[in-house]
Structure 1
Amino acid sequence: MSPEDGGRRRPRRYGYLGPEGTFTDAALAAALAARGERALRLWMHGDLPAAAALAREAGLARVRELLTMEADLSAPLPPLPQVDGVRLRSFEPGRDEEAWLAVNARAFADHPEQGAWTLDDVRAREAEPWFDAAGLLLAEDERTGALLGSHWTKTTPAEEGGAPVGEVYVVGVAPSAQGRGVGRLVTLAGLHHLRDRGVRRVELYVEADNAAALAVYRRLGFERSGADVVVEAPAGAATGGRP
């Protein structure tokens, strides 16, 4: 069990609810009994039927669904759309961190993890071997230079005999710029970048209730490939269980 966001802020707790032999009846009962006045949240990775049945029998409510989606980049991509007053450029380490964090916080104000990123979080990722500043695409206002949105791509090195795998790591658009086509622009720009790097398969994670993002991804050829679900026992609430 671990705190929801790595121990920094939230009082909820997470565990792993999986098939028989991982986090099953006895462990679930113990976790529910020990939670005290705190809510207990459990990940069901893969949303497997056995785990879902166990959660239902324990009286746990589904509170979050995280979808995985994939797309094939071997086919031609649409050209980049023209968005009036917006220009694209790549991220510059040492210059753009604070502006990126400010937009990220506004874009993900209601997100349980992403919106809480700090400068240390960004710098830790800049130090990772996979970090590629050219693959963090920024959309900014041509007149003011204000950051409007971004697409942070990630590439996993190829296994022997295969092509590298790309990821739509973070796409965020400032609330004030939403509805202008900035999200589609940065998403497509990132896909072009990945394709130019030899990526032929790209994956992403997206909240199931993010209708705007899902619409963009589906129009660009992404299809659902899986899901992870969070279930919750609220603080102090009675729960069911097997007889």
Structure 2
Amino acid sequence: MSAPLEIGPLAPATQDAVRALAAAAAAHDGVAPLSEQPLLNLGVDDAAVTHALVRGPAGDAVAYLQVDRGGDVASAELVVHPAHRRAGTGTLLLGTAERDARLPERSGAPDQRGKPLRVWAHGDLESARGFAAARGYTLVRELLFLARPLTGADAPPAPDAPGGITLRTFRPGDDDEAWVALNARAFADHPEQGRLTVDDLHRRMAEPWFDADGLWLAQDEDGTLAGSIWTKIPTDQPQDDRDGEIYAVGVSPQAQGRGIGGFLTAVGLHGLRAAGCTRAVLYVDGDNAAALATYARTGFTRAAVDTQYAPAARAHDGAPGSAPAGRTD
């Protein structure tokens, strides 16, 4: 190892270095090594988030690990520069994640024993599968990436609202807390989406892709929010070949059974097509049979998969998963 492991908050220049590291890995592997949440977390200095960095001889970032212990599990994401793989760097970072996951919570309570560790790999690459197997890790979750065309005969029909539902777009500053509360209700059992905070919302609103007109709210007759659909169109795409993501669609438990989810999905698809997108994409858990059936009827098919691993001794402890993340060496 050419330099020791650096653990602690990342200065702005170091955050940029990690982004450059991730870009180099993506160019080599054909898939991004870090998901949205860890990239948003690069500037976070919080007791629940650990940043670990390895530098090369020239001081450049050659490997990065992030552990987020804010949920029910410790979610680890790591990436190693292609030129520095197979030198033990990934193993060093994985060991760091294992130790970090075992740390008691910062509350100091004597009965706190840390959290189960989960590690994500994008793209289900053979190298990641081999790395996990060699270190005694077992596959515990799959996150499927689905896609459907939006052009020609595949253009989505105009949506038809259920009775009593009014559709409007999100109003930044006015709807922030109400949307977060709706999202928490709709995703109460989801390990990532359900724990989004107002601060998490604001970090996403500060991203270049955010457009309030792409976040629709389904409002009931009494003025309460019954559901929402959020779409995302990344800005770094060619105009004639653009993906639009069904970023999050949720319905309040009190409003389920009225066709609101299907209506909102149609709203999102129609909006993405109107914005010039040629393909719609989304993520869904591989064991969510109901959602998979719904999306299959809407024309979505499997395009890729992210995989989550856990140490074999803890692979069946019943803890939920966490957000998609990085790649091993």
- TM bucket normalised to smaller: 0.7 to 0.9
Aligned residue for 1:46, secondary structure, equals helix
Residues 67 and 227, structure 1, Cα contact 8 Å, conserved in 2: yes
Whether 2:62 is the aligned partner of 1:62: answer: no
Match for residue 79 of structure 1?
158
1:3 has 2:80 as partner: no
- Which amino acid counterpart does residue 186 of structure 1 have in structure 2? L
TM-score by length of 2: 0.63
Distance apart, 1:89 and its partner CA: 1.3
Decide whether aligned partners of structure 1 residues 8 and 189 sit closer, same or farther in structure 2, where only a CA change above 3 A counts. same
Q: Does 1:16 align with 2:78?
A: yes
Q: After superposition, what is the alpha-carbon deviation per residue over 1:74-95, rounded to whole angstroms, capped at 9, x for unaligned?
A: 0231332341222211111122
Mapped pair 1:227 → 2:305:
yes
Alignment of 1:1-243 (within 5 A): 1-4=65-68, 8=70, 12-16=74-78, 26-27=88-89, 29-30=91-92, 33-34=95-96, 35-36=98-99, 37=102, 38=114, 39-74=116-151, 75-141=154-220, 143-157=221-235, 159-160=237-238, 162-233=240-311
- What is the Cα deviation at residue 146 of structure 1? 1.0
One-letter amino acid of the counterpart of residue 105, structure 1 = A
> Do the aligned residues in 2 keep the contact of 1:68 with 1:204 (CA within 8 Å)?
yes
TM-score by length of 1: 0.82
Q: Cα distance, 1:119 vs. partner?
A: 1.1
Q: CA, structure 1 residues 66+23, in 2 after alignment: closer, same or farther (shift >3 Å)?
A: farther
Structure-2 separation of matches of 1:163 and 1:218: 23
Unaligned runs of 5+ in 2: 1-64, 103-113, 316-329
Provide the rounded CA distance (Å) in 2 between the counterparts of 1:182 and 1:88.
11
Distance 2:239 2:207 in 1: 24
Partner-residue secondary structure (3-state), 2:76: strand
**Correspondence for 1:240:** none
Q: Which moved more, 1:17-26 or 1:209-218?
A: 17-26
What does the per-residue CA deviation read over 1:62-119, in whole Å, with 9 as the maximum and x for residues that have no partner?
2221111111000231332341222211111122111111111122223222212111
Identity of aligned residues (%): 44
Change (3 A) 1:47 1:94: same
Q: How many angstroms apart in 2 are the aligned matches of 1:127 and 1:20?
A: 31
| Amino acid across the alignment from 2:176 | E
Instruction: Read off the aligned partner of 1:79 and give its amino acid letter.
Output: A
Look up the equivalent residue of 2:197 and give its one-letter code. Answer: T
- SS for the counterpart of 1:151 is strand
Shift of 1:27: 4.6
User: Residue 198 and residue 49 in structure 1: after superposition, are their counterparts in 2 closer, same or farther (change >3 A)?
Assistant: same
Q: Is the 8 A contact 1:14 1:42 kept in 2?
A: yes
Give the Å deviation of 1:164: 3.2
Distance 2:149 2:187 in 1: 27
Taking a change above 3 Å as real, the CA distance of residues 33 and 183 of structure 1, as seen in their structure-2 partners, is: same
Contact 1:17–1:44 at 8 Å: present in 2 too? no
Structure 1, 116-125 or 16-25: larger mean CA deviation = 16-25
Counterparts of 1:111 and 1:24 in 2: how far apart (Å)?
A: 35
How many residue pairs end up in the alignment?
Answer: 234
Structure 1 residue 127 displacement after superposition: 2.6
Change (3 A) 1:82 1:155: same
- Greater relative CO (CA pairs within 8 A, separation 6+): 1
Work out whether residues 18 and 51 of structure 1, in 8 Å CA contact, stay in contact via their aligned partners in 2: no
Residue 9 to residue 160, structure 1, CA distance change in 2 (3 Å) = closer
